[in-house]
Structure 1
């Protein structure tokens, strides 16, 4: 079991994501979230996928595309840090969303992409040794351990599921 990271293993910003993850097996939580999020998103209509709760806010598809981008970014950081202490730049979520024509992808395909990305990441994470989980690096000018990013994967998804429920009216 991967233990919860200590507060010196991630940035203060990341504490919001990590704090959303319940005290349970984080791998099982990631698997459960993969299944429930897939069920949620694959059941949406294209009209629901195009919905935005306010002018200038992301559509459901854009928010899901952002979740996929973030899943890949956090997983890449876990891979790199598990192999070598290195410094990686941050990423600007708004630039990523603006440069991905996600609204022309079906919501069902996006749901499949999210599930496939998470499944791949789970295989990688399950292969980490205890020592690798404690390795670290610098991302967005802050120190992070591998296990912090594992928790951030779950927390980031939980964060957006809360937004989908509270602002988009889906969940």
Structure 2
């Protein structure tokens, strides 16, 4: 749904799980102004610019949604606060916030954890360094990179954990390979 929300036009998605993390993603995208229709097991996602309906959007207890949407929220047409459930407000995301800052994304957090205020400003790109601790942090940067005003190079420092997930994300973003 996240990729479909970024693509112009209407995307048809079938077979999505009814799991809670999918529902959190659905709610967050809708609060960013993405129209999503549900017909049985088919989701019709009307992609395009994010036009926030609320100042604060929540990823609930979906870590992947949180890590992807912190950076992608910068593509909204107004500032957005990305929040999460109480337990997730203790999850440090400082390495991701630093990397987003290196990309030119303006983010603020009082303690390196959600809630995170994200300015509405396209990323500039550039050379980004991030620890290979979580593939979702790196995937979030990869998803945002095509929207940067300049080239982006992501350097993973240390061991790249969860490499199969990284390869999957790269296949999704390579035309004809997804």
Q: What band does the TM-score fall into relative to the shorter chain?
A: under 0.3
TM-score (norm 1): 0.25
Please identify which structure carries the higher helix content.
1
